[in-house]
Chain A
Amino acid sequence: MPVALAAAVVVILLGVLVLLRRVIVGPRLLDRVVAVNVIGTKTIILLALVGYLAGRPGFFLDIALSYALINFVGTIAVLRYYEGRVRRGEPVEEEA
């Protein structure tokens, strides 16, 4: 079983690696945010898996649970300020 768990972790991490392309390349701010959000949700799962790997799933799940909450708050916050920028008529993309 641990092998399966570890394999799953590695697979998901590879996914994160793939997502990094979006984070770095963009091209838009929102594209990055999408990627970041997905990385966040993947991390929840990663944590659960690592918890089982470490043999202390209960503790890790506590953390995973708080991740689920926190990641949501973070994403909403980014979008909130992004929309604020839109509403004020500022250019949404500062990067040339």
Chain B
Amino acid sequence: MDAQLPALVIVVPLLAALLVPLAGRRAAWGLVALALLLAFAGCVRLLVRAHALPEGEAIRYALGGWAAPVGIEYVVDRLNALVLTMLSGVAFLVALWMRRSTAREIRPPAVTGYYSVFLLMAAGLMGITITGDVFNLYVFLEIASITAYVLIAMGRRRQALYAGYSYLILGSLGATFILLGIGHLYMATGTLAMADIAAVFAREPQLYDSSVIRTAFAFFTVGLALKMALFPLHGWQPGAYAEAPSATSVFLAATATKVSAYALYRVAFTVFGVRFLETGLPVVRDALLVMACSAIVVGPLLAIRQHDLKRLLAYSSVGQIGYVVLGLALHNADGLTGSFLHFWNHAAAKGALFCVAGALAYRAGTTQVAALKGLGRRAPLTAMLLTVAACSMVGVPLTAGFLTKWYLARGALEAGQWAVIPVLLASSLFTAVYAWRLLQLAWFADEDGPVAEDVPWSMRAPSLVLGAACLVLGVAPLALPVAQAAAEALL
């Protein structure tokens, strides 16, 4: 069974997603949780195995028994094992978290369908991550996208439809660009397997000068930037996060854009290769650097002005994705390590924050920031969660967020990009401003908000795990060795 793990971690959620519509409502939730638990266990096992592998090797799984260029191959190395574990872990926690929340936010007959779509999205995101084939990546990107549109559109307010719709339009545009990129890539190399394409590049370095390859890379970059809501292509994101049902927001915000960022890393480093970034098309690198930096600054600035907690968090995500991309733009070991750490760090922090928003929606029926008033008294654990996660977002030392900034700053200094440092600091300051506003309301408000008591334990416990992760990841460097090894392997 161990050998079959790479396939199973994807297939099991898929299978469950197909069975859920046939199962009853109660059994459905159990199935979701079980499937995601199994997937998580599998991913952890894969992470352990991948980390134990010698440098430069990966776990390979040939789907259909056809080895790579002929068939589709799953490749698990340290980097994507890291992302996979994050994905399945968050998905599992959200699955635990969402039972009560969906019961309140989703119309009862649609709940099983919602679960099914949720599982499909989780499987889709994991599929994007695990695959070693550019076209297969696109297929799972489609699954993840379509499900995301609907998971958003199922929000209770009318605006949810609009939010889902605008994501649909922009997401499809992005997906189209990615497909164009794949097409160009295939045209120039004649193969779709990532490793094989890389081999072609190694064999024929003159391909780097080909306009086909350059166009392909540009398409990939723009398409994935759209999908990951990289400033200034983030237009779809705030509405989507704000209007979606709580469980969707938690999962989407914690994982979705990061997977696109991961895909960009894969494409840039594994497929095109570092040399292409350095010599082939350096302008893209500079453009990414500028975009990442503007995202890092502008995201929190926009967040400061928001009155809706989910919208505020969404804008903050706009900034946070900048951190994830920054490593790519710096492309040295420290910068990459910082970005890879951020996959986990931000997932934990943003997941926890959206859990707070979900708790607010559950208890208060609103996600207005003002509803946080008195949270510290009525729901102290949730308020603690908010505090810890917000500190992590700011990058307070001893929380996970600090490590990200530390490595990114090191990477920036190493790369000679001094200007990045003020950007990082400014972003921390802006983040501190809105985090402070939230905490102020939660702990130091005089009058009480609409929250009467804390959410049920079935919601509290999973979200606290995320909050604890913010602290644990900040003190005990669980992900660090893997992230560092992954960064070094990419370069």
User: Do any beta carbons of A and B sit within 8 angstroms of each other in the complex?
Assistant: no
Which chain A residues have a beta carbon within 8 Å of chain B's beta carbons? none
